[in-house]
Structure 1
Amino acid sequence: MNKKLLCVLCAGGLLAASAAAAETVHKVKKGDTLWDISRHYYGDNFQWPMIWKDNVIINDPDLIYPGQQFNVPGFLDDAETIRKDDSGLIRISAPENRKPMDTDPLESEKLINANARNSMETIFLNDIEVVRDNEPSANILNVEGEKSFATTRDRITINQGSGEGLNLGDTVVLYQKLSTLEKERAVYRIVGYAEVSEVRAETSDAIIYKSFNSIQKGYFAEKGNRPDLRSPKVFRKADTDIDGEIVYIPDSHRNTAQGYRVIVNVGSVERAKQGDKVSIYRETEENGRTRKDYIGEGQLILVGEEYSTAIIVTSLVEIHKGDSVNLTDIAVY
């Protein structure tokens, strides 16, 4: 571990450390914000989401109170950050320094090595959000033993059987509905996967083999497969007219940042595909003119016809719903 970092962590009250990661505890005092705490420990205000994600007691990152104690995750020697997820520790590359749009020229047709700018290998497609154009075809009728919640290895019954083409051994994707975007189109979260263990004419039983959240009676289900990720070999810079905006931020958050997912209204009908990257901009009105500043970068990880799920790869400021996006990096496989 870097000696300077070790000294800082020790001075901050290091409670536990390992070769892989370090954590300290910060006690909130009057006037503290996550923005300031992040700068104190990391020398970088924009790492505040790491602290937010690592502390479940923080319901709203804008509201923290004196006396609260927060874990502060540490850094690896190569300056990559570590954050915690349901699957454990995930490495995320440190953000690149980017300038506002008017000083950030895009070089058309330039190929960029994906090793330095690809986030695909760090993403776990677990409780991921996805936009569907229609409601999943089945519901969970009940959970074995009349439990309120189901988890891995529990048996569930769904209202779909051989009459709808369901077969023994099929994989069933389990969904929780989060929000309606327009008409029948809505945002769902994949909460788990189950394997069909018994098929009847109109209903079937399935065993949950992977769960990412508690699963309840009434949640949706549909025959399908687990989403795959392919890692691009290179990116091609391109000046495109494929524009959209961030239309949804999960978990009712008002803002988001590096390492978190969003929904954008850019999809395959506009020639976008998995792995492509979008630049994120903030538009503000100044003296009757619209100013457009570069504030971050996202990578498309699940692409639908008109909407895609993206992960924020870089954020220079907090990312808001309504911030605009433009496809600028084409993934080459």
Structure 2
Amino acid sequence: MKTRILLLLLALVTIPCFVQAAQREEPTIYVIKQGDTLWGISERFIKDPNYWPNMWSNNSQVTNPHFIYPGQKVRVFPDRLEFVPREQPVAVTQKAVPAPAAEEMREVAAEKSYTVFGSEGFILENGVKPAGMVIGIQNDRILAGDDDIVYTDIGSSQGARGGEKYSIFRKDSTVTHPVTNEVMGTKIIPLGTLQLTDLERNSSRAVVARSSKEISPGSYLLPYKGSSRREVSLKMSTRELKGYILDSYSGISIIAAGDIVYIDLGSAQGAEVGNILYIVRDVVLDQRYAEGRIDKLPQELLGALVILETGKKVATALVVKSIDAIYKGDRLVSMTK
């Protein structure tokens, strides 16, 4: 008899534990609202705004991590988020979002933004010339840094005045299109800033106000535009964009998340700062097995980038996600509103 009583008490104690465990695994359902983003949802529910790449890569129905559709449903677990497939109805046993939480969700999730520091470099396009060059360094030195005296070919005949500032760039390499072989321009890398002190008609003396890298004769000069640090918020493209990756800041062959790249899309094509583009690659089909029945395979999704600065026909961009190795010549596509 005592044994039966003990077994009964044990059962009464353990059953609620199983019920609570099951309830903990039972997700709540959140319905996407206008303005929501994966970053905002990740930060709101699991306090990790950087969780969004997992949601993107694990959910094939989400082709654009910035633009998700009102009415989509998300299963909210304590440690993860899952999209409910469109063809799968929400089970009636799942809990609805409690009224207080639903009220809180009316607030639109903040959009993700990226900080531009001005050190990303860009492609100086054909036909665009620098304002001048560093033509020498005091005492015939070959390298200059902070507070050093340099000489430029900018003078009063160009309308320059003492005290004016110029940004200093290194001429890096000529950039050609990976498909058409068209020369797109010259990659230039920021080195610092200088300030003119004394001017002649066609030359000037200047002091290096700030340097991030060593400065040498031959460095390009462009008018100083003030602090280059700014925030770039993501925005949907208003038109369809298709292009290619031209080169990377570092020049390395393999490109990954966090790398700066240069692309063949600029303001002339409708590209804007903040546009997010998807990096894709065509899959080569072996016709020996297709027997001529198939001419094209779905593209391979490699990652995503956001445009930081645009020129007329080119732009500087940051790779924000990579799920495979990315190379110069990989294709870019956008999703429009």
Q: Name the TM-score, length of structure 2 as normaliser.
A: 0.62
1:241 match: secondary structure: coil
Quick check: 242-251 or 304-313, which moved more?
A: 242-251
- Following TM superposition, by how much is the alpha carbon of 1:223 offset from its aligned partner in structure 2, in angstroms? 2.5
Aligned mates of 2:223, 2:186 — CA distance in 1:
18
Match runs of 1:108-187 below 5 Å: 115=110, 117-118=112-113, 120-121=114-115, 123-126=116-119, 128-133=121-126, 134-181=128-175, 182-183=182-183, 185-187=185-187
- Following TM superposition, by how much is the alpha carbon of 1:210 offset from its aligned partner in structure 2, in angstroms? 1.7
From the superposition, tell whether residues 103 and 221 of structure 1 become closer, same or farther in structure 2 (CA, over 3 Å): same
Question: Does the CA contact (< 8 Å) of 2:196 and 2:205 recur in 1?
Answer: yes
Quick check: 256-265 or 144-153, which moved more?
A: 144-153
Residue segments in structure 1 that go unaligned for 5+ positions in a row: 1-77, 81-92
Match of 2:315 among 308, 312, 315: 308
Quick check: 239-248 or 287-296, which moved more?
A: 287-296
- Following TM superposition, by how much is the alpha carbon of 1:291 offset from its aligned partner in structure 2, in angstroms? 3.2
From the superposition, tell whether residues 162 and 328 of structure 1 become closer, same or farther in structure 2 (CA, over 3 Å): farther
Quick check: 108-117 or 257-266, which moved more?
A: 108-117
Higher strand residue share: 1
Partner of 2:214: 214
Aligned residue-pair number: 238
Partner of 1:293: 300
- Following TM superposition, by how much is the alpha carbon of 1:103 offset from its aligned partner in structure 2, in angstroms? 4.1
- Following TM superposition, by how much is the alpha carbon of 1:205 offset from its aligned partner in structure 2, in angstroms? 1.4
Question: Does the CA contact (< 8 Å) of 2:117 and 2:229 recur in 1?
Answer: no
From the superposition, tell whether residues 130 and 234 of structure 1 become closer, same or farther in structure 2 (CA, over 3 Å): closer
Aligned mates of 2:258, 2:159 — CA distance in 1:
38
Aligned mates of 1:322, 1:185 — CA distance in 2:
16
1:191 match: secondary structure: strand
Aligned mates of 2:131, 2:322 — CA distance in 1:
37
Question: Does the CA contact (< 8 Å) of 1:101 and 1:293 recur in 2?
Answer: no
1:145 match: secondary structure: helix
Partner of 1:83: none
From the superposition, tell whether residues 163 and 183 of structure 1 become closer, same or farther in structure 2 (CA, over 3 Å): farther
- Following TM superposition, by how much is the alpha carbon of 1:114 offset from its aligned partner in structure 2, in angstroms? 7.8
Aligned mates of 2:277, 2:309 — CA distance in 1:
13
1:291 match: secondary structure: coil
Partner of 1:202: 202
Q: Name the TM-score, length of structure 1 as normaliser.
A: 0.63
> Which whole-Å deviations, capped at 9, do the CAs of 1:29-65 have from their partners, x for residues lacking one?
xxxxxxxxxxxxxxxxxxxxxxxxxxxxxxxxxxxxx
From the superposition, tell whether residues 257 and 124 of structure 1 become closer, same or farther in structure 2 (CA, over 3 Å): same
Residue segments in structure 2 that go unaligned for 5+ positions in a row: 1-46, 71-106, 176-181, 287-294
Aligned mates of 2:238, 2:172 — CA distance in 1:
34
From the superposition, tell whether residues 324 and 155 of structure 1 become closer, same or farther in structure 2 (CA, over 3 Å): same
- Following TM superposition, by how much is the alpha carbon of 1:302 offset from its aligned partner in structure 2, in angstroms? 1.4
Aligned mates of 1:228, 1:124 — CA distance in 2:
6
Question: Does the CA contact (< 8 Å) of 2:308 and 2:317 recur in 1?
Answer: yes
2:139 match: secondary structure: helix
- Following TM superposition, by how much is the alpha carbon of 1:202 offset from its aligned partner in structure 2, in angstroms? 0.6
Question: Does the CA contact (< 8 Å) of 1:101 and 1:292 recur in 2?
Answer: no
From the superposition, tell whether residues 147 and 114 of structure 1 become closer, same or farther in structure 2 (CA, over 3 Å): farther
Aligned mates of 2:51, 2:210 — CA distance in 1:
31
From the superposition, tell whether residues 155 and 286 of structure 1 become closer, same or farther in structure 2 (CA, over 3 Å): same
From the superposition, tell whether residues 184 and 116 of structure 1 become closer, same or farther in structure 2 (CA, over 3 Å): closer
What is the aligned-residue identity percentage?
A: 18
Partner of 1:40: none
Question: Does the CA contact (< 8 Å) of 1:247 and 1:265 recur in 2?
Answer: yes
Runs of 4+ in 1 over 6 A off after TM superposition: 111-114
Aligned mates of 1:141, 1:239 — CA distance in 2:
44
- Which amino acid in the other structure matches residue 316 of structure 2? T
Partner of 1:279: 278
Match runs of 1:41-52 below 5 Å: none
Aligned mates of 1:270, 1:100 — CA distance in 2:
32
Aligned mates of 2:212, 2:306 — CA distance in 1:
22
> Which whole-Å deviations, capped at 9, do the CAs of 1:47-96 have from their partners, x for residues lacking one?
xxxxxxxxxxxxxxxxxxxxxxxxxxxxxxx778xxxxxxxxxxxx5661
> Which whole-Å deviations, capped at 9, do the CAs of 1:260-286 have from their partners, x for residues lacking one?
100011110122121221111122212
Partner of 2:77: none
Partner of 1:263: 262
Aligned mates of 2:202, 2:158 — CA distance in 1:
8
Aligned mates of 1:295, 1:102 — CA distance in 2:
13
Aligned mates of 2:316, 2:188 — CA distance in 1:
11
Aligned mates of 2:194, 2:238 — CA distance in 1:
43
2:205 match: secondary structure: strand
- Following TM superposition, by how much is the alpha carbon of 1:190 offset from its aligned partner in structure 2, in angstroms? 1.6
- Following TM superposition, by how much is the alpha carbon of 1:311 offset from its aligned partner in structure 2, in angstroms? 0.7
Computing the radius of gyration from Cα coordinates, the structure with the larger value is 2
